[in-house]
Structure formats: C-alpha cells, structure tokens
Amino acid sequence: MKKYLGIELGSTRIKAVCIDENYAPVSSGDYTWKSSFENGIWTYDISETWTGLKAALSAVEDRENIACAGVSGMMHGYLAFDEDWNLLVPFRTWQNTITAEAAAQLTELFGFNIPQRWSIAHLWQAILNGEEHLCRLAHITTLSGYIHYMLTGVNAVGICEASGIFPIDPEELCYDKEMVEKFNALLTSKGISKPLTDLLPKVLCAGENAGALTKEGAELINNLLPVGTRFAPPEGDGGTGMVATNSVAPRTGNVSAGTSIFSMVVLEKNLENIYEEIDVITTPTGSPVAMVHCNNCTNDSNAWVSLLDETLSLFGTKPNPAELYTKLYEKSLEGDADCGGVLVCNYMAGEGVTHLDEGRPMVIRRPDSRFTLANFFRSTLYSTMATLNMGMEILAKEKVKIDSMTAHGGLFKTPVVGQKYMAAAIGAPVTCMQTAGEGGPYGMALLAAYADEKAKDLTLGKFLSDTVFANVDGTTLAPATEDIAGFNSYMEEYKKLIEVEKKAVEVII
C-alpha cells in the first residue's frame, strides 16, 4: 500500500507524519527544538534541522513505500545564501520584530500590507542597514524552501509559502510583477543590479511536480528515504494548516495554535482597506486569504506548566507531561468566565497586532481578584487567543463572511477546553477534527497525496472535501452565551493590560 509523508519544521518540533491511501495517519516521529535569542535575533541553528529530520524520519514506518513526500516549515523570516548555498547570516525567524522601518516603507510603496516578518521586509531592512553580507547574496528562501532544495536540487516553494515572501498576483499565480518592478527600482537606487526574481525561489501551485530526492539529498538524511522519492511543492505552515482543516474554499477558515497563533479566512473578494494587523496571503492553489498572525501563543503557558511540574517534583511526584497539561486545561473549566479578574500577558516576543517590538510576560491582578489555580490557568489560555481576537474584530468590520472555522494545533489536543475558549474568542462555532493535534505535517502529507493523485483531475478543494474529509468525524462547539460575555469582559481589561505591557517593555530592559 502506498504511503505519503509530510515533514514540518515547526517552532517547537520537527515532525514527520506518514498517512496511508485512506489519508489516515499511520506512523510519526518527532524531534524537539527551540529558538534562541542571540545578539538581539530570534534564530535556530540550521545544522540542527538535519539532526531533527533524521530523528523524526527514523521513527516513521514503511518508508520504502512512500510514493510522495513534502516539506513544510515556519513561514516568513530570512534565510540568505551565497551562490553555493552557504548561509550568510543566522536564520532570522518570524518571531523577530526588527524590520519596522522596511515594512512601513514597502507597505506605502506597494499599497499592500507588508508585515515585519515577511522575507522581503527582512531583505529591505538589511539593505537599509547596509549589511556586509549583501555583496555575496545570491538566494533568499524560507526554511521549507531550503530543506526542499537540499533534498531535491529544486529551488522552488509552494504559492502559499511564496505569498509570505513577497505579494502574489492571484490571477497569474506568480510574484506580483508591478510590485517586483517597484522593488527592482529600489535595488537599483542602492547600487544592486541583480533583479529580485533572481534572488527568490520559483513559485509552484499544489499538485505540481517539485522534483525528487537526489543521491546527495538522501545522504543528508542518512538514506532514510529512497533516492527518487517524489516531492510536492514545499509549503509554509499557513498552507498546511488550511489543508489539514479542509479550509481552502471561500468563506472557510481555520485557527492554528501552537508557539504562534493565526487565523486564516479564504476571501470572496479583496479587503477594502489596508491593515497593518492583517496579512493577505494565498491558499496552496493561489486564492486570496486574510490572515491574522500573532507571534505569541503557548510559549508562556508552557513555561507555567514547567514551573508547576517543578513544584510537584518537590513532593517526589513526576506526572506524565501530557497528563499534566490535560489536568490543568480541565481545571481551568472550573474558573470564572472572566477569569475572576486575573490577567495574563503572554508576550515572550514582540507582537505586530498590538505594535510591540518586544515582549515582557506578566501576570496582573487586583487585591480583590479571585486568584485560584482555575482562574489563573484559564487566564493563561485566554491570553493565547486574546490578541487574535483583536485581529478578528477587523475582519468583522470588513464584513468578511465565514461559514465555518476549524481549529488545529497543540492548543486543541485536550478535548473541548481550547475549542470552547476559542469559540468564545471569535464568537462563532469551532470544529475540531480527529486529526486536530497533528496539524501542519498532516496537511503536508495530504499535499503530497494530492501531488500523486492529481491525475484524477480534482481541484484541491474537491480532493479534500469529497475524498479526504468526506467521512472524517469532528466535533463542533458553538460559543456559550456566558463564555462570550466572560471573554468580552476579559478583553476589556486585557486591552488596558497592553498599555502596562508597553510601559514594561520601556522600563524593564
């Protein structure tokens, strides 16, 4: 039986998920890693990607029967290479908020929002900074694009991934030519003769041939996959999230929640205004998508779980990590709908939606707040989606129609809890499928299957709806009136907390 493999280099795990011909996960492997803050830059050690890939792949069963594979990764950021694909500067991840000047200039030039984490903002900021490496710059790509190139020799990315590098023309399914020309003029003004498209990877749509594993690529992963294994176009975690939740048709949307949190809604028409808080990216087939991306989600709550685990160890108790998370999540359900006046700001890094370039995690309460474990942990979970709530308010004002919202990612592994709070946060029913905890690597495996099955002439939407998810069970929770009122009350105080956060960033250095 044929198998399909999805690999994702996420913020906290490098994971490989293998699915069968019925599109059900059958085996997986993972490797835990984390970013580091070095010299003012959030980064990962690129050499560790290969350690993690090999660890994840070695746990996947029946690898010789994999018909097609695909690589996904954290979108955006800056990976700059010379002509021989030597890394010129440490990987600058999406977590960085160091390109405000460049992002503002490009947004004005293009008449299109360019967030700080987009690759083109990082490139222009490097040029504005006069960085030394630019004289040797030959290639810019993303994490998934880099791994894909090293494995296959094909310098290309999927169109959703490309849309987080540079704006896409949804009609021609390529980088927007008018904006490319405007940027080329900027390059010329700085004495750079190489045109932008020579620096960027080629754009491919879902289902297109993206090459095969080469002998050199196989050696990089200890020959854990056979030479000649076909590969789908590499995609970012935004695209794989849409696929994993069957959210590629207009008026469908999804929420992905892990280290970062973002919602994506497939648009029927373009937004009327430009918003610094809203990215416009694409589906893996090129349809426009409104994305609310928040840098901070579960990192702070993970830190609190670790602290509580350490506390338990004082009494000689060492609970299973998954059980500890489950118990704390479920305990939060006993808390007040407004968290009893306990407020948490989970900003470990800067946050574009609230215009902060740095973060200072904090817990604040009044003397009369009901400071219980249930209220505290409920507040930590509310904080993971509070900033997303602000961005979704903008889409509501734009009258963006949403028929369904599906959630996936680590925040939803414990049944009901995260789903219940998310429904209150966005004021709409939220669906979680059985595969909710698998997230991006599962979506990438489905894209690999689509690349193998496209001969059936199905659109990606039809492939997902009529074939993959036709009989997949899911649970849908509508927001409870009490939860909506409680979350709205929490948000009134949370918005005041952001003013305290701004002061904390200013004085606590």
CA Rg, the chain, in Å?
Answer: 22
280, β-bridge pairs: 290
73, β-bridge pairs: 9, 236
In a domain, 282, yes or no: no
Give the model's confidence band at 417: pLDDT under 50 very low, under 70 low, under 90 confident, else very high. Answer: very high
List of residues 6+ apart from 370 with CB closer than 8 A: 336, 340, 341, 342
What is the arithmetic mean of pLDDT over 351-359?
90
Give the model's confidence band at 436: pLDDT under 50 very low, under 70 low, under 90 confident, else very high. Answer: low
pLDDT of residue 454: 67
CA–CA separation, 300 and 302 (whole Å): 5
In a domain, 278, yes or no: no
Question: What's 457-494 look like in SS3?
Answer: CCCHHHHHHHHHCCCCCEEEECCCHHHHHHHHHHHHHH
pLDDT digits (tens, 9 = 90+) for 276-305: 889 999 999 999 999 998 989 999 999 999
Give the model's confidence band at 471: pLDDT under 50 very low, under 70 low, under 90 confident, else very high. Answer: confident
Task: Say if residue 423's pLDDT is above 60.
Answer: yes
Whether the Cβ atoms of residue 351 and residue 359 lie closer than 8 Å to each other:
yes
User: DSSP letters along 148-162, please?
Assistant: HHHHHS--EEEHHHH
Task: Say if residue 438's pLDDT is above 80.
Answer: no
CA–CA separation, 487 and 239 (whole Å): 29
In a domain, 287, yes or no: no
In a domain, 264, yes or no: no
Percent of the chain with pLDDT over 70: 98
What is the arithmetic mean of pLDDT over 450-467?
85
**Are 502 and 409 contained in the same domain?**
yes
| Range of weakest confidence among 189-193, 194-198, 384-388, 415-419 | 189-193
pLDDT digits (tens, 9 = 90+) for 6-29: 999 998 899 999 999 999 999 999
What is the arithmetic mean of pLDDT over 96-116?
94
User: In this structure, what CATH number is given to the domain that contains residue 323?
Assistant: 3.30.420.40
**Are 369 and 493 contained in the same domain?**
yes
User: DSSP letters along 380-412, please?
Assistant: HHHHHHHHHHHHHHHHHHTT---SEEEEESGGG
CA–CA separation, 489 and 135 (whole Å): 53
Question: What 8-state DSSP symbol labels residue 302?
Answer: H
List of residues 6+ apart from 372 with CB closer than 8 A: 335, 340
**Are 184 and 317 contained in the same domain?**
no
**Are 233 and 338 contained in the same domain?**
no
What is the arithmetic mean of pLDDT over 240-255?
90
**Are 198 and 223 contained in the same domain?**
yes
Residue written as tokens 């704390």? Answer: 328
Q: What distance, in Å, lies between the first and last C-alpha atoms of the chain? A: 57
Arithmetic mean of pLDDT over the chain: 93
What is the arithmetic mean of pLDDT over 317-324?
92
Give the model's confidence band at 437: pLDDT under 50 very low, under 70 low, under 90 confident, else very high. Answer: low
pLDDT of residue 177: 97
- Count of domains observed in the chain: 2
**Are 307 and 429 contained in the same domain?**
yes
Residue written as tokens 């927007």? Answer: 176
What is the arithmetic mean of pLDDT over 426-431?
89
The length of the chain in residues reads: 509
In a domain, 65, yes or no: yes
pLDDT of residue 435: 59
> Encoding tokens for residue 180?
């490319």
**Are 13 and 153 contained in the same domain?**
yes
CA–CA separation, 464 and 404 (whole Å): 15
In a domain, 499, yes or no: yes
Question: What's 221-274 look like in SS3?
Answer: CCCCCCCCCEECCCEEHHHHHHHHCCCCCCCEEEEEECCCEEEEEECCCCCCCC
In a domain, 292, yes or no: no
**Are 354 and 456 contained in the same domain?**
no
Nearest to 197 by CA among 139, 124, 280: 139
In a domain, 213, yes or no: yes
**Are 347 and 453 contained in the same domain?**
no
Residue 357 CA to its chain's centroid (Å):
19
CA–CA separation, 12 and 259 (whole Å): 7
Give the model's confidence band at 409: pLDDT under 50 very low, under 70 low, under 90 confident, else very high. Answer: confident
CA–CA separation, 442 and 300 (whole Å): 25
Residue written as tokens 């490309």? Answer: 162
- Structural domain including 123 reads 3-246+437-468
Q: Are strands 202-204 and 156-158 parallel, antiparallel or unpaired?
A: parallel
**Are 46 and 62 contained in the same domain?**
yes
Phi, psi torsion values for 277, nearest 5 degrees: -85, -10
Total-model pTM: 0.83
**Are 216 and 361 contained in the same domain?**
no
**Are 459 and 496 contained in the same domain?**
no
User: Other CB atoms closer than 10 Å to residue 292's CB: what's the count?
Assistant: 27
